[in-house]
Amino acid sequence: MTTNPAPAGAPPAPEPAETDNRRDFLMKVGIGAGVVALVGQAGASLRSLVPNVSYDAPTTVKLGLPGDFPDGLKFLPDQRLFVFRDGRTFHAISAVCTHLGCTVRAEALSRTEEKEVAGKPLRITHRFLCPCHGSKYKGDGANESGPAPKPLAWYELSLAADDGQLVVDLAHEVGHDFRLTLA
Ligand code: FES
């Protein structure tokens, strides 16, 4: 059997060992590039899960001027909050059920009650019911029946210095003796 001679001027054919080395080298380069691409892609995917900006709701919220609140109860769905007014005195009770966080609804009592709560008088006009698992709360937020493990939270109210609006601090729970009484 005869082999064709290399054309005149062509580089000599590589030796078999040299060809294997080159193939190994190219394979390693290919694998390395693939790994780098995968790591980069995974990093980008993980990075995309972390927002650049915090979209958490602010904890201190202006609610409106005191005159915007009727005597009795006003529900604020954005804050999931009940604001109660009795003349010049205000307090705020969370509408977030202490069982699993559903929004409780207020049910007007057939007869208003005057009670002492945490050593201070409180006019009770409503009680609260959770539609999810049936927890019931008294008008001061105390858990009465159902799976709710503790009372509804009360939050601090204050007046904004700049424009006189009512302000709630949803990061600051207060005791049931809290009242904001305007001068
Ligand atoms: S979330 Fe209110 S009773 Fe379960």
pTM above 0.85, yes or no: no
> Encoding tokens for residue 41?
């892609």
For residue 136, the CA-to-ligand 1 centroid distance in Å is 9
Ligand 1 in reach of 76 Cβ (< 6 A): no
Split at pLDDT 50, 70, 90, the class of 183 is confident
What is the Å distance from ligand 1's center to 32 Cα?
A: 54
Is residue 48 scored above 60 in pLDDT? no
For ligand 1, whether the C-beta of 65 sits within 6 Å is no
Residue owning the nearest CA to atom 3 of ligand 1: 133
Query: Residue 167 Cα, ligand 1 centroid: separation in angstroms?
Result: 27
**pLDDT above 70 for 140:** yes
Kindly state if the Cβ of 130 falls inside 6 Å of ligand 1.
yes
Q: Which amino acid residue places its CA nearest to atom 1 of ligand 1?
A: 100
Mean pLDDT of 78-86: 96
Atom of ligand 1 at shortest range from CA of 104: 2
The pLDDT value given to residue 24: 73
183 or 170, greater pLDDT: 170
pLDDT of 54-67, one tens digit each? 666 679 999 999 99
Q: Is the CB of 129 under 6 A from ligand 1?
A: no
Q: How far apart are CA 178 and CA 171, in angstroms?
A: 15
Q: Is pLDDT of 42 > 90?
A: no
Calculate the CA dihedral of residues 137, 138, 142, 144 and round it to 10 degrees: -60
Share of the chain above pLDDT 90, in %: 63
Q: What is the CA radius of gyration of the chain?
A: 35
CA 158 to centroid of ligand 1, rounded, Å: 29
User: Tokens 């954005």 correspond to what residue?
Assistant: 78
Say which range, 12-26, 40-54, 71-85, 103-117, has the weakest mean pLDDT.
40-54
Mean pLDDT, residues 134-160 taken together: 97
The per-residue pLDDT for 1 is: 45
For 63-88, give the DSSP string. EE-GGGSPSEEEEETTTTEEEEEETT
Q: Which atom of ligand 1 is nearest to the CA of 101?
A: 1
Chain centroid offset of residue 31 CA: 43
Mean pLDDT for the stretch of residues 31-46: 60
Which of 50-59, 80-89, 103-112 has the least mean pLDDT? 50-59
Q: Select the more confidently predicted residue: 20 or 138.
A: 138
- Categorize the per-residue pLDDT at 2 as very low, low, confident or very high, splitting at 50, 70 and 90: very low
Nearest to 96 by CA among 78, 79, 74, 80: 80
Percent residues over pLDDT 70 in the chain: 71
